[in-house]
Amino acid sequence: MPKWKLVTEFTFDSAHQIRDYDGPCGRLHGHTYRVRIEATSHQLHASQYCPHPVMVADFRTLRWAKRDVTKGGLDHGVLNEVMPPEYETTAEMIAQYIYDRTKKDLPEGIKLKVAVSETPNTWAEYEDDD
């Protein structure tokens, strides 16, 4: 059975603070977040931008988080104010939030993995067993 894998990376700049954290991360501060999304599928799909089934997923759909916060993304926002309250603003939870929101906009059968980096030497990954 054929399988395609699509990979995209992008950055966005945002501020956050980790609620009740005893240390510097408990204060408001910012990062240039690096996001890596892998989308895998056994079939190709159309998208809202292209009516032909020629892609795993549209890069524009996968990269929604890099849009400015005023346009529905996460760039140049305060994550504590932008993300729903059930997601804390740790790298792990930011990865899960991007995964959950991206998954809703994709056709069935696409497997996702989302990795988020706050610093050059740290990454958090999230994927579901679906």
**Residues 25, 92, 125, 127: which is the catalytic one?**
25
**Residues 38, 76, 88, 92: which is the catalytic one?**
76
Residue pair 31/13 in contact (Cβ under 8 Å)? The answer is yes
| Active site annotation includes 118 | yes
Please report the DSSP string for 89-130 in residue order.
SSHHHHHHHHHHHHHHTS-TT-EEEEEEEEETTEEEEE----
User: C-alpha distances in angstroms, 114 versus 3, 77, 99?
Assistant: 19, 20, 6
Three-state secondary structure call for residue 46 = coil
**Residues 16, 38, 45, 118: which is the catalytic one?**
118
| Active site annotation includes 38 | no
- Write out the two tokens for 16: 């956050």
Distance CA(123)–CA(115), nearest Å, equals: 6
Kindly list the catalytic residues: 25, 76, 118
